[in-house]
Amino acid sequence: MAPAYVVWLVPRQFYAPAELSEVSSLRTIMTQLLRFHGSVKRDHAIETWMEEHTGELGEIAKRWFEVMRKCGDDVRELLHDGHPTACITDAGFAYVNAFRAHVNVGFFRGAAIPDPDGLLEGTGKFMRHVKLRPGQTVDAVALTKLIRTAYADMKDRVQAELPR
pTM greater than 0.85 (yes/no): no
Q: How far is CA 50 from the centre of its chain?
A: 18
CA angle 62, 65, 71 (to 5 degrees): 140
pLDDT of residue 31: 56
pLDDT at 8: 41
- pLDDT for the residue numbered 162: 82
For 121, which DSSP code? B
Q: What pLDDT shows up at residue 117?
A: 96
Catalogue all structural domains in the chain, each as residue range(s) with its CATH number.
4-161 (3.90.1150.200)
Q: What is the pLDDT along the chain (164 residues), one digit of tens a residue?
A: 444 444 444 333 333 334 434 444 434 334 578 888 899 999 999 999 999 999 999 999 999 999 999 999 999 999 999 999 999 999 999 999 999 999 999 999 999 999 999 999 999 999 999 999 999 999 999 999 999 999 999 999 999 888 87
Calpha distance 127→145 (Å, rounded): 17
Give the integer Cα–Cα distance in Å for 151 and 69: 10
d(CA 64, CA 25): 36
User: pLDDT value at position 136?
Assistant: 94
Q: Give the single-character DSSP code of 50.
A: H
Q: Rounded to the nearest 5 degrees, what angle is found at the Cα of 33, between the Cα atoms of 29 and 38? A: 120
